[in-house]
Amino acid sequence: MHRIVIGLAIWSFLALQPSTLPAQDKIRDLVVKIHAVHHTPDVLRPWTKNSPQQVKGSGVVIDGKRILTNAHVVRYASQIYVQPNQSADRIPAKVAAVAPSMDLAVLALDDESFFDKREAIPFADDLPRVKDTINVYGYPTGGSELSVTQGIVSRIEYTEYYYQVSGLRIQVDAALNFGNSGGPAVSDGKLVGLVFSLIQNAQSIGYLIPVEEIELFLTDIADGKYDGKPQLYDFLQTVENDALRQKLGLPAGVNGVMVTEPYRQEANYPLKEWDVITQIDNTPIDSEGKVAVRYDLRLSALYLVQKLAKNGYVNATVFRNGELIPMRLPVQSRRDLVMPYLLNTSPRYFILGPLVFSQATQDYVERTTAQRPLPASQQNSPLVTRRYDKPRFDGEELIVVASPMFPHRITKGYDDPERFVLSEVNGQRVRSLQHLVQILRDDAELQVTLKFARASRRTHETMVFNRAELLESTAKIIEENGIRYPSSPDLRPVWEKTVTVMPKPLGGS
């Protein structure tokens, strides 16, 4: 019996020696808990923010004395603290760079002595393979200490992330919960991906941002700002159908993706409708629109764009009118939208009397339609019909009445134009929010006439206000409602610019 006890003791001692510790156990001190206080913007009351919200997540030490985590953990955070493993300390941190579309962020610490005894986590050299085992580290809901769960890689694909940006994604079957976000997934002691998403009400399905995407992000921010990934935004479809191939005149063995709508219509844009992109660089595209990137992995051909694009272009081969034509295709980092995403910014706004004008954004439309869908009578609103349109000219913005009208006597008899898009002020078509402010600032009329874009067979009624009463009511309204400024910071110098034009008297010169 004594021999058994002694034998177990020796085995336990040897098992705990550094040389025999599993590689992943050395990762523990590189994983941190992140505490953040979010102050997200309120798109319905753009002069203020939503109530503060406590958010917890995870992060990992990378080179350059930085912490890598998810954008959604720290975006719009007014306070960020990093808590080391097995420590009660909370080290103040700030966002050094963020990519909301790829859900990645890098933190810098106020006290860099934290890094003195910690090396950066090494990155894997390649994508994992399906059925590879991974260990996920983090601080999920349900406890305060570091959690380590094991799973396998079940799928790798190129798919959409956020804000119409695509990238590589790894699906794993490890048990993930809220709080795991930003935690590392490790294999053989190396980072293979960062946890960023899970499917609620589904058992053990989670997603990782692979190292390849992380390295693209880190390379991008090396100059101090995030520009975005190069992408093609043309509308494409596969060429599997026999009748379609016959129309295109595609010879046997020639495959690719067909352009159904070029991203731009200008004559000098290289791609045209019915073109078939057959190769990206020198890699052939199959009839399902995929390329072989490894003997065991096929991905969307668009994956190659982010790998091979240089100086705003990617080389390709296009089949057109029976010929294979080499082309340089222009790429860009984000889709141009007349209603953009806020990403990491706050909504822009201008308050004039009882009305709150704001630039229409995707965030605004998502929030308002989720809360209260537009009625059938407003289905022709530009908020619907132009939802994913490109700007028709440089600088075009849609201006929406973002909030219900403030109560005031000058609104007597008018319906509330909330969620209506402003089209004209005193006969001038409004091109942007700044242009609206300039019109209101410089117009010499004693009255202000507002017209709105048609949302159905009937448009919203025309509203007429006396200019002096609008200005007077603005001061009173912002005071009564505790609003600090009547406009966002970018518009204050525009409105406050000295104007010498005197208003014209009504009905005469």
Q: Do residues 173 and 204 touch, judged by C-beta distance below 8 A? A: yes
Q: What is the pLDDT of residues 213-255, one digit of tens each?
A: 999 999 999 998 899 999 999 999 999 999 999 999 999 999 9
Exposed e or buried b for every residue in 225-240, given b needs 16+ CB within 10 A? Answer: ebebbbbbbbebebbe
Mean pLDDT of all residues in 175-186: 86
CATH number at residue 108: 2.40.10.10
Give CA angle at 233 (228, 238), nearest 5°: 130
CATH number at residue 458: 3.20.190.20
Please, which pLDDT band fits residue 5 given cuts at 50, 70 and 90?
very low
Q: Do residues 334 and 228 touch, judged by C-beta distance below 8 A? A: yes
CA gap 373, 380 in Å, rounded: 13
**Residue 18 falls within a domain, yes or no?**
no
Per-residue confidence (pLDDT) for residue 354, from 0 to 100? 97
Higher pLDDT residue, 376 or 90?
90
358 plus 461 within the same structural domain = yes
218 plus 243 within the same structural domain = no
- Domain termination residue (choose one: 91, 117, 143): 117
66 plus 157 within the same structural domain = no
CA gap 414, 499 in Å, rounded: 30
What is the share, in percent, of the chain residues with pLDDT greater than 90? 79
| DSSP letter string, 409-477 | GGGTTPPP-TTPEEEEETTEEP-SHHHHHHHHHH---SEEEEEE---SSSPPPPEEEEHHHHHHHHHHH
DSSP at 71: H
H or E segment to which residue 215 belongs: helix 211-220
Percent helix, strand and coil across the chain, each rounded to 5? 20, 35, 45
Q: Do residues 292 and 282 touch, judged by C-beta distance below 8 A? A: no
3-class DSSP state of 129: coil
CA gap 336, 353 in Å, rounded: 32
**Residue 2 falls within a domain, yes or no?**
no
Which two three-digit tokens encode residue 440? Answer: 């209101």
Give CA angle at 352 (507, 386), nearest 5°: 100
Per-residue confidence (pLDDT) for residue 456, from 0 to 100? 67
**Residue 122 falls within a domain, yes or no?**
no
260 plus 315 within the same structural domain = yes
364 plus 273 within the same structural domain = no
Burial environment of residue 280 by CB neighbours within 10 A (0 to 12, 13 to 18, 19 or more):
buried
Non-local (6+) Cβ contacts of 209 within 8 A are 102, 103, 104, 167, 168, 169, 170, 193, 194, 196
353 plus 492 within the same structural domain = yes
CATH number at residue 254: 2.30.42.60
Domain ranges, residue 181: 133-223
**Residue 404 falls within a domain, yes or no?**
yes
Which two three-digit tokens encode residue 419? Answer: 């969620």
* pTM metric for this prediction: 0.87
Per-residue confidence (pLDDT) for residue 380, from 0 to 100? 84
**Residue 293 falls within a domain, yes or no?**
yes
Non-local (6+) Cβ contacts of 283 within 8 A are 291, 301, 304
Exposed e or buried b for every residue in 250-264, given b needs 16+ CB within 10 A? Answer: beeebbbbbbeebbe
Task: Tell me which residues are annotated as active site.
Answer: 72, 181
What is the share, in percent, of the chain residues with pLDDT greater than 70? 90
Q: Quickly count: other Cβ atoms within 10 Å of residue 126's Cβ.
A: 10
3-class DSSP state of 170: strand
**pLDDT surpasses 80 at 499:** no
218 plus 245 within the same structural domain = no
288 plus 308 within the same structural domain = yes
Residue with tokens 């290289």: 270
**Residue 340 falls within a domain, yes or no?**
no
**Residue 128 falls within a domain, yes or no?**
no
Phi/psi at 28 (5° precision): -50, -45
**Residue 8 falls within a domain, yes or no?**
no
3-class DSSP state of 392: coil
Per-residue confidence (pLDDT) for residue 203, from 0 to 100? 60
**pLDDT surpasses 50 at 310:** yes
Q: How many domains does the chain have?
A: 4
385 plus 477 within the same structural domain = yes
Which two three-digit tokens encode residue 114? Answer: 């934290």
Q: What is the pLDDT of residues 199-224, one digit of tens each?
A: 555 566 889 999 999 999 999 999 98
Q: What is the pLDDT of residues 117-156, one digit of tens each?
A: 899 999 999 999 999 999 999 998 877 889 899 999 999 9
- Domain termination residue (choose one: 192, 223, 254): 223
CA gap 421, 239 in Å, rounded: 40
70 plus 107 within the same structural domain = yes
- Domain termination residue (choose one: 191, 223, 255): 223
Q: What is the pLDDT of residues 246-282, one digit of tens each?
A: 999 999 999 999 999 999 999 999 999 999 999 999 9
Per-residue confidence (pLDDT) for residue 376, from 0 to 100? 64
111 plus 146 within the same structural domain = no
Mean pLDDT over each residue of the chain, to the nearest integer:
89
**pLDDT surpasses 90 at 197:** no
326 plus 356 within the same structural domain = no
Please, which pLDDT band fits residue 198 given cuts at 50, 70 and 90?
low
